[in-house]
Amino acid sequence: MAEYFKYITTYNNTLVDRSDTTFSPVPPYGEILSSYYIVPHQELYYYKESGGEIVLNDAATIESYLEGTDPPPGPNDIVEQNEFTGYTESTDNNIDYLSGQTDTKLNTTDFNTYSGDTDLYIETKIDKVTGATSNLAIFSADGNVVDSNVTVDSITGGTGYYVYGDKEVAESNASPTPVTYYSTGGTLTEGLFSLDYLGILGNSVKVKPAYIQFFHDDRPISSIIDYAPPTNGGYIPISFMKDEYLTGGTHTFDVRYHAGVNTALMNYAAIRVRKVQ
């Protein structure tokens, strides 16, 4: 079935519309009645009128038609690099007019003035903390940063804040005189420390007592603790813990034991010393 196809002469007679009735065109438009079949919804600019016939359009004409009839670019359209570069070539240190939204331009001098004010405001917003090397920082009630007086080493077990050692060897003592089963120590900073001791004590004969005691710097910090096993060679773990304020310097920590009757036995001890304040 024949249709009327409208074309525009300024773009080499590129087709722009189709209809069952005449367009009665006026320049720069014309029309042709043709039974040439073009798929519905196909872009008509792929075709043109030539010598009273409809033929395929050429690429140069299509490109020229699209460039000439596209609407002006919107805010979300892609801008070619060479076009965008042109916007930034101004030498007056101002923002070029790009759209109505940038009509009120901001001069570089004005902007630098604002930046100076901003810099001063930032410097007074948060206090600086000095003399708090390797300490944790905390926020005070007014939002400023202050020294917590808590060192990173004190919570990560750094040198001067933590001592640990253990021993796992079966030993015996048949004397009523205490002997040291295990000793450890280190150079510590001044502060409050948690002292945790563990010793596994036994006796070679059932219901016969053996004794254990815990020391700090050759000073007993626990009472003498006894254990009489219900069976020959029986053992029991005995723990002791205490918080002590230590001066800065070298300190030692010991586990000592002795026999009441028969032979006292030890097969394990551990000591952990950690700063808590």
> CA of 149: how far to CAs of 133, 145, 146, in Å?
10, 12, 9
pLDDT score of 56 more than 90: yes
pLDDT value, residue 263: 96
pLDDT score of 224 more than 60: yes
**Residue 125: band (very low, low, confident or very high) from pLDDT cuts 50, 70, 90:** low
**Contacts (Cβ under 8 Å, ≥6 apart) of 106:** 94, 95
Mean pLDDT of 265-276: 95
- CA distance linking residue 189 with residue 249, whole number of Å: 6
- CA distance linking residue 12 with residue 21, whole number of Å: 23
pLDDT value, residue 254: 97
Mean pLDDT of 49-69: 94
- CA distance linking residue 140 with residue 107, whole number of Å: 40
162-275: CATH class = mainly beta
Of 18-32, 77-91, 137-151, 201-215, the range with the lowest mean pLDDT is 77-91
**pLDDT tens digit string along 131-163?**
666 677 778 877 788 876 666 665 555 568 899
> CA of 25: how far to CAs of 32, 33, 50, 112, 148, in Å?
10, 13, 17, 60, 86
Quick check: 4 and 23 in contact, CB under 8 A? yes
Name the percent of the chain lying above pLDDT 90: 62
pTM for the model stands at 0.47
Q: What are phi and psi of 152, to 5 degrees?
A: -60, -40
More confident residue, 145 or 262: 262
Mean pLDDT of 98-111: 59
Q: Where in the chain is the domain with CATH 2.60.120.760?
A: 162-275
Which of 166, 158, 136 has the alpha carbon at shortest distance from 149?
136
pLDDT value, residue 94: 54
Of 29-33, 75-79, 80-84, 263-267, the range with the lowest mean pLDDT is 80-84
**Residue 250: band (very low, low, confident or very high) from pLDDT cuts 50, 70, 90:** very high
Task: Provide the mean pLDDT of the chain.
Answer: 84
**Residue 166: band (very low, low, confident or very high) from pLDDT cuts 50, 70, 90:** very high
pLDDT value, residue 240: 96
pLDDT value, residue 134: 67
pLDDT score of 215 more than 80: yes
- CA distance linking residue 98 with residue 89, whole number of Å: 13
